[in-house]
Amino acid sequence: MKEKRNSRIRLFALLVLVFTLGFGFSVDTSKQSLTVSSQAAQADENNGILAFNGQKQFVMEEKDQLGRAHSAHIQLQDKDEPKNKRPGKIKYDPVGWHNYKFYYGDGKSKSWLMNRGHLIGYQFSGVNDEGKNLVPMTAWLNSGNYKGTDEGNQSGMLYYENRLDNWLALHPNY
């Protein structure tokens, strides 16, 4: 019982630290110069949306001055999705990457708190181990579960990625 309580206290402290570090710094981006691709330069200046041209477009912005991935855009049809099987484990560690195993559920099961998450999912981009497309995120946000995946959990990105993938398959001419 005491071990479970201590585990919860450590998890709470870690989450406070993650949120403090993640949201506690402000960066003046008004003077920051970003290198953008020619496609991104064509993006609507008011909202950053790529102009529709009926072709696949995939743009990853350069990392910010702290080396963080921060922005990516894609337009594609179902036929443009990658056909290759996703490669193995991601080796790139995004800025801010730290990991911690914690107890969950009955207090006996352990899982990693964090995942490396894609700004644009592999199933759409075909890009797996690229630093401009990877950010640290909780395992729950990425896969909807502490261990494995839960495609039915609306708290996870996987839920929405799969629904978008299904929509693209059902609407091949959009």
Q: Which two tokens stand for residue 128?
A: 């797996």
| pLDDT higher than threshold 70 for residue 94 | yes
| pLDDT higher than threshold 80 for residue 109 | yes
Write the CA distances from 73 to 83, 88, 131, integer angstroms: 20, 24, 15
| pLDDT higher than threshold 50 for residue 24 | no
pLDDT at 49: 78
Q: Which two tokens stand for residue 169?
A: 């398959």
pLDDT at 163: 96
The CATH superfamily label for domain 45-170 reads: Extracellular Endonuclease, subunit A (3.40.570.10)
SS3 of 22, please? helix
Q: Which two tokens stand for residue 84?
A: 């290759």
pLDDT digit string, tens, across residues 6-20: 555 554 444 444 443
Looking at residue 49, what DSSP letter applies? P
Residue 102 makes CB contacts below 8 A (sequence gap 6+) with 7, 10, 11, 14, 110, 111, 113
| Averaged pLDDT for residues 127-146 | 94
Q: Which two tokens stand for residue 109?
A: 């099961």
Contact present, 42 and 51 (Cβ < 8 Å): yes
| Averaged pLDDT for residues 55-62 | 95
Pairing of strands 109-112, 114-118: unpaired
pLDDT at 174: 82
For the whole model, what pTM was predicted? 0.70
